[in-house]
Structure 1
Amino acid sequence: MDSVTQITLGAAVSVAVMGKRVPVWQSALWGAAAGTTPDLDVVVDFGDAILNMTRHRAESHALLFLTIASPVFAGLAAWLGKRPDLFKRWLLAFWLVFMTHVTVDYLTVYGTQLLQPFTDYPFGRGSIFIIDPLYTLPLLIGLFACLMSKSEKRFRFNTIGLTISSIYLIWGLGAQQYVESVARQSLPTTVSSESDILVTPSPLNSILWRVVATSPTHYYEGWYSLLDEEPVVYWTEHDRGATLIAKHSDHPGIASIQAFSHGFFRMRELDGDVYITDLRMGFEPAYFFNFNMGKPDENGSLDLERPSIQQGNRPNLETGLPWLWQRLTGQTTEPPPQS
């Protein structure tokens, strides 16, 4: 999730656990700091755009390493607060802050390597968009009310915010399951009914969902709003670059994207350069994680020493946001062109 959400969630969880044992501002500050700590791995530059992508949410988001880090944070908080008797309570608070951080990250589509160092498999459910105000605002309002109130019952505000946001996460999981069932009933004939399909919410909401299915040679994009009159997904077909995939499948960077995206990727050749694109984030034809792998040599091989370069682009908000609203409300209009 985005930084604001993780900071707010960390603070809210810490306040809920510590209660009246320490000043509310203190537990909120510690929780906010711990809530954003796992995401500091973004400052590390691995010298390659694909590595920067696939190494984010790796060791810093591993259940084992975060569990090990929890007593370190707890000891520091207890020592600085001169309350060694609260070490166990701080330990519970920090552990829950870390666990809720990686839980909501797992529910996004990006991929979170929860079981490092045993496996680098990127777990990702994709039931909530990386920025969703309907999840964040209840947390933020509840926490703010708790911090500002002088009432003895101030902690109820924080609890209500956590409860509403948690219910929203459950709603997203249920909506995703329903949309997947609709999508599977209208799969293209070239896609196996046993194939994995990608079902993710569109930006800032959980009403309009984007669906992607793949065959060996093509990928298919469809949209479904929970407000649509008919339970049908209409698909657009796009070439996946099967020849390029077969030709360069042994390239480490391409193999990494294939694994990290769970197979939801495409390859293209433009102006002599080979590109690989993660199809999970963005929508046709604008994708954020689009990587230039360079020009093949005279033998048709890519330079293994050349770093990949990210050349993605975001959707045009001027045309994209009005279309998202129209499609969300059940109007079956074609996605706007992206320039």
Structure 2
Amino acid sequence: MDSLSQVALGAAVGVAVMGRKTALWKAAVMGAVVGTLPDLDVLINHGDPIRDMTLHRTESHALFYLTLAAPLIAWITAKLAREMDLFKHWWLAVWLVLITHPLLDTMTIYGTQLALPFSDYPFGIGSVFVIDPLYTLPLLLGTGVALARKQLAGLRWNTLGLAISSAYLMWGLAMQFYVGTLADKSLTAQGISAQQRLVTAAPFNSVLWRVVAITPSGYAEGFYSLLDDDRNIQFIEYPRGEHIYNLVRSNWEVNRIAWFSKGYFKMEEKNGVLSIADLRMGVEPYYSFTFDIATRTRDEHGERILFTRPKQPMPDIQGADTLHWFQQRFLGDTDQSLVEFLKGN
């Protein structure tokens, strides 16, 4: 999730655990600060954008390492708070703040390597978008009111905020499952053979959902809004560039994206530049993580593919038109894909 959500969750958890034992502001500040620590790994430069992407949410988000780090961080916290007699309580609070951070991240589709060092599998459910105000606002309001009121009454507001935000996550899981059942029926009805499919929340909400299915000939994309009148999801099929992948599949960067995306990727060639995109994050034709990885050249020795240092180009996403399409699709007012919508504008 975004940094503000992690700050809000950390503060709320800190207040919930330590609110009866120390000043509410101390508990909230501790939670907010510790809740941001795992994301400091973004400051590490791994040398290229593909490594930066796939090595984010690794050791700093692993439950085992966070558990090992919790006593030291708790000791520092208790020392700064001048409450060493409460060390065990600070330890519990710090540990809960640390582990709820990656557990929340796992609800997004990105990929969080929770199980290191035992497994590097990137867990990602996709039932909530990385930024969702309906998740974050109850936490901010609950903790904010708690800090403004007396201890006991404040704790009740903080608990209410945590309960509402947690219920929202459960809602997202339920809606994701529901849309998944509709997607499976729609794929079968349209004669699309899905080798694998995923359902993810669209940006900033849990009403509009995006479905991606990998097919023998490429991939299919469809959208469903809970405000739609028709429960049938219309899918549009696109090529994945399998022939390009077969040429470059030995490349480490290509394999890394193929692994990290769990097979939800496509490859394209434009003006001799070969690129790979993670299909899980974005919408056709714009994807958040697209990387140029090679060039195709021809000389007197014939055709060659030269691998280059991965580059992440800045896409021209036509922001106003894209936002307008999302708004219409959210309300169930259009069945057009974004590609069709942009062509008509």
* TM tier relative to shorter chain: over 0.9
Give the Cα separation in 1 of the matches to 2:289 and 2:261: 10
Give the Cα separation in 2 of the matches to 1:107 and 1:36: 17
Give the Cα separation in 2 of the matches to 1:93 and 1:290: 39
Give the Cα separation in 2 of the matches to 1:148 and 1:314: 45
Report if aligned partners of 1:74, 1:94 keep a CA contact under 8 Å in 2. yes
1:156 aligns with 2:156: yes
Report if aligned partners of 1:248, 1:302 keep a CA contact under 8 Å in 2. no
Letter in structure 2 aligned against 1:252: W
Residue 299 of structure 1 and its aligned partner are, at CA, apart by: 5.3
Give the Cα separation in 1 of the matches to 2:42 and 2:206: 27
1:313 aligns with 2:318: no
SS in 1 for 2:19: helix
TM-score if structure 1 supplies the norm length? 0.95
Report if aligned partners of 2:109, 2:126 keep a CA contact under 8 Å in 1. yes
Aligned to 1:242: 242
Residue 332 of structure 1 and its aligned partner are, at CA, apart by: 2.5
Residue 323 of structure 1 and its aligned partner are, at CA, apart by: 2.1
What is the alpha-carbon root mean square deviation over aligned residues?
A: 1.6
Letter in structure 2 aligned against 1:281: M
Aligned to 2:342: 337
Aligned to 2:213: 213
Residue 234 of structure 1 and its aligned partner are, at CA, apart by: 0.3
Aligned to 1:229: 229
Residue 198 of structure 1 and its aligned partner are, at CA, apart by: 1.5
1:249-271 per-position Cα deviation (integer Å, ceiling 9, x unaligned): 11100000001001110001111
Letter in structure 1 aligned against 2:119: T
Aligned to 1:169: 169
Larger deviation: 1-10 or 18-27? 18-27
Change (3 A) 1:108 1:312: farther
Change (3 A) 1:60 1:159: same
Report if aligned partners of 1:287, 1:314 keep a CA contact under 8 Å in 2. no
Aligned to 1:252: 252
Give the Cα separation in 2 of the matches to 1:55 and 1:145: 37
Aligned to 2:269: 269
Letter in structure 1 aligned against 2:239: D
SS in 2 for 1:307: strand
Which structure 2 residues correspond to residues 81-120 of structure 1 after superposition, within 5 A?
81-120=81-120
Give the Cα separation in 1 of the matches to 2:312 and 2:263: 19
Give the Cα separation in 2 of the matches to 1:18 and 1:28: 9
Report if aligned partners of 2:202, 2:210 keep a CA contact under 8 Å in 1. yes
Residue 151 of structure 1 and its aligned partner are, at CA, apart by: 5.7
Report if aligned partners of 1:217, 1:239 keep a CA contact under 8 Å in 2. yes
Change (3 A) 1:209 1:31: same
Residue 152 of structure 1 and its aligned partner are, at CA, apart by: 3.5
Larger deviation: 8-17 or 146-155? 146-155
Aligned to 2:280: 280
Larger deviation: 160-169 or 280-289? 280-289
1:135-174 per-position Cα deviation (integer Å, ceiling 9, x unaligned): 0000000010011113641111100000000000000000
1:300 aligns with 2:304: yes
Residue 71 of structure 1 and its aligned partner are, at CA, apart by: 0.6
Report if aligned partners of 1:287, 1:312 keep a CA contact under 8 Å in 2. no
Give the Cα separation in 2 of the matches to 1:207 and 1:255: 34
SS in 1 for 2:186: coil
SS in 2 for 1:11: helix
Letter in structure 1 aligned against 2:312: Q
Give the Cα separation in 2 of the matches to 1:260 and 1:226: 30
Larger deviation: 165-174 or 196-205? 196-205
SS in 2 for 1:112: coil
Residue 85 of structure 1 and its aligned partner are, at CA, apart by: 1.8
Pairs aligned (count): 335
Aligned to 1:59: 59
1:110-131 per-position Cα deviation (integer Å, ceiling 9, x unaligned): 0000011222210000000000
Change (3 A) 1:319 1:17: same
Which structure 2 residues correspond to residues 182-221 of structure 1 after superposition, within 5 A?
182-187=182-187, 188-192=190-194, 195-221=195-221
Report if aligned partners of 2:61, 2:114 keep a CA contact under 8 Å in 1. yes
Report if aligned partners of 1:64, 1:115 keep a CA contact under 8 Å in 2. yes
Runs (5+) with no aligned partner, structure 2: none
Letter in structure 2 aligned against 1:215: T
Give the Cα separation in 2 of the matches to 1:314 and 1:161: 38
Give the Cα separation in 2 of the matches to 1:270 and 1:316: 19
1:187-207 per-position Cα deviation (integer Å, ceiling 9, x unaligned): 153423xx3212011111100
Larger deviation: 74-83 or 157-166? 74-83
Residue 292 of structure 1 and its aligned partner are, at CA, apart by: 0.5
Give the Cα separation in 2 of the matches to 1:3 and 1:314: 26
Report if aligned partners of 1:199, 1:209 keep a CA contact under 8 Å in 2. yes
